[in-house]
Amino acid sequence: MSPSIEEVVLAEPRGFCAGVDRAIEIVERALAKFGAPIYVRHEIVHNTYVVDDLKAKGAIFIEDLADVPPGATLVFSAHGVSQAVRREAKERGFSIFDATCPLVTKVHVEVAKLHREGYEFIMIGHKGHPEVEGTMGQLSEGIHLVEDVADVADVQVRQTEKLAVVTQTTLSVDDAAEILAAVKRRFPLVREQKQQDICYATQNRQDAVKLLAPKVDILIVVGSPTSSNSNRLRELAERLGTEAYMVDGPSDLKPQWFEGKRQVGLTAGASAPNILVEQVIERLRALGAVSVRHMPGVVETIEFPLPKGLKLG
């Protein structure tokens, strides 16, 4: 059976968020102003295309600050860094530009403030993710990671009167709510943030998939394997009963996925550039897609300011 695609339906919103836009622009402006190489701690955002493009322009991505020569320009990735990394970078004398997403910085600021007031923390997030390492690394102790409901039962805190919960910004909204409910059952006095930590872009893209997935036969998510928010979109569609695949680009699409599929949904994680979406659409047209339709959705207008010292001209 050959693909029988009639229509591609595009989720709205999809693709780059304000924090990703800002992070990429910081690296590009640093390259334009100071010249190559510009060193970046960790992938600036979790997307292969973006990282390869910046490498070609002169960015060098490192994990260990010992790999950065003295006096070099260093950019912290959008995911944020620990206090230990900040101290080491300062001690090594780098010229530093911080591309941490302002919504991640907001979590860091809240952790520091409440820590001064004597709070301990439970963090809901994925172990090993750079954002989680950065947030937990704001403190030397007193912050406990839970990845799922089962982990909540194992948390050992020193006291329960001053306990706060924070969240990785790119989690599944539904999963985070389920884990938070378990935290509140075990620790009824736990302090929640006034505004949830999961970012607006993660929420909006998941809401769009909730609307789109039941209306299509298959959903394609454009995003790299390391992208947390992209993975959550694929998982969400599958949970809603829709066959879903995540692709880094058009070459990952397999014709057999589309056999007997008339309606194809298409979205992209917050770190995936629109050029990849366009390339995937072209590949779907080559597989027989007749039309492309935009689903109505939230229009995002948020912009974040750049750090001082990066104005051009």
In a domain, 299, yes or no: no
Q: Are residues 23 and 92 in the same domain?
A: yes
- pLDDT digits 0-9 by tens, 216-237: 999 999 999 999 999 999 999 9
CATH number at residue 39: 3.40.50.11270
Q: Are residues 73 and 23 in the same domain?
A: yes
In a domain, 308, yes or no: no
Residue 313, pLDDT score: 63
Mean pLDDT, to the nearest integer, of 66-85?
97
In a domain, 242, yes or no: yes
Which one of 28, 43, 131, 133 is the catalytic residue?
131
Evaluate the CA torsion angle 116, 117, 119, 121 in order and state its sign. Answer: negative
Q: Is pLDDT above 80 for 286?
A: yes
Residue 274, pLDDT score: 97
In a domain, 46, yes or no: yes
Q: Is pLDDT above 90 for 195?
A: no
In a domain, 65, yes or no: yes
Q: Read out DSSP for the chain?
A: --B---EEEE-SS-S--HHHHHHHHHHHHHHHHH-S-EEEES-SSS-HHHHHHHHHHTEEEESSGGGSPTT-EEEE-TT---HHHHHHHHHTT-EEEE---HHHHHHHHHHHHHHHTT-EEEEES-TT-HHHHHHHTTSSSSEEEE-SHHHHTT---S-SSSEEEEE-TTS-HHHHHHHHHHHHHH-TTPBPPSS-SS-HHHHHHHHHHHHHGGGSSEEEEE--TT-HHHHHHHHHHHHTT-EEEEESSGGG--GGGGBT--EEEEEE-TT--HHHHHHHHHHHHHTT--EEEEPP-PPP----PPPTT----
Centroid of chain to Cα 93: 29
Residue 260, pLDDT score: 94
- pLDDT digits 0-9 by tens, 242-281: 999 999 999 999 999 999 999 999 999 999 999 999 999 9
Query: Mean pLDDT for the chain?
Result: 96
Q: Are residues 280 and 215 in the same domain?
A: yes
Q: Are residues 146 and 114 in the same domain?
A: yes
Q: Are residues 137 and 110 in the same domain?
A: yes
Q: Are residues 86 and 130 in the same domain?
A: no
147 part of the active site:
no
The candidate with the shortest Cα–Cα distance to 231, out of 218, 248, 215, is 248
Residue 93, pLDDT score: 96
Q: State the pLDDT confidence band at 166, using cuts at 50, 70 and 90.
A: very high
Mean pLDDT, to the nearest integer, of 109-118?
97
Mean pLDDT, to the nearest integer, of 27-39?
97
Give yes or no for a contact between 112 and 138, defined as CB atoms under 8 angstroms apart.
yes
The boundaries of the domain holding residue 145 are 103-186
Q: Are residues 181 and 217 in the same domain?
A: no
Q: Is pLDDT above 80 for 1?
A: no
Looking at 45, 80, 101, the residue that finishes a domain is 101
Q: Are residues 61 and 111 in the same domain?
A: no
Mean pLDDT, to the nearest integer, of 122-144?
98
Residue 102, pLDDT score: 97
Mean pLDDT, to the nearest integer, of 138-146?
97
Assessment of whether the complete model's pTM goes beyond 0.85? yes
In a domain, 306, yes or no: no
Q: Are residues 79 and 136 in the same domain?
A: no
CATH number at residue 289: 3.40.1010.20
β pairing state of 120-124 and 263-268: unpaired
Contacts for 284 with CB less than 8 Å, ≥ 6 apart: 5, 8, 253, 258, 264, 266
Q: Are residues 94 and 42 in the same domain?
A: yes
Number of domains present in the structure of the chain: 3
Residue 196, pLDDT score: 84
- pLDDT digits 0-9 by tens, 80-98: 999 999 999 999 999 999 9
* Rounded Cα distance, 217 and 80, in Å: 37
Q: Are residues 37 and 118 in the same domain?
A: no
The candidate with the shortest Cα–Cα distance to 188, out of 148, 149, 161, is 161
Q: State the pLDDT confidence band at 140, using cuts at 50, 70 and 90.
A: very high
Q: Is pLDDT above 70 for 2?
A: no
In a domain, 300, yes or no: no
Q: Are residues 168 and 234 in the same domain?
A: no
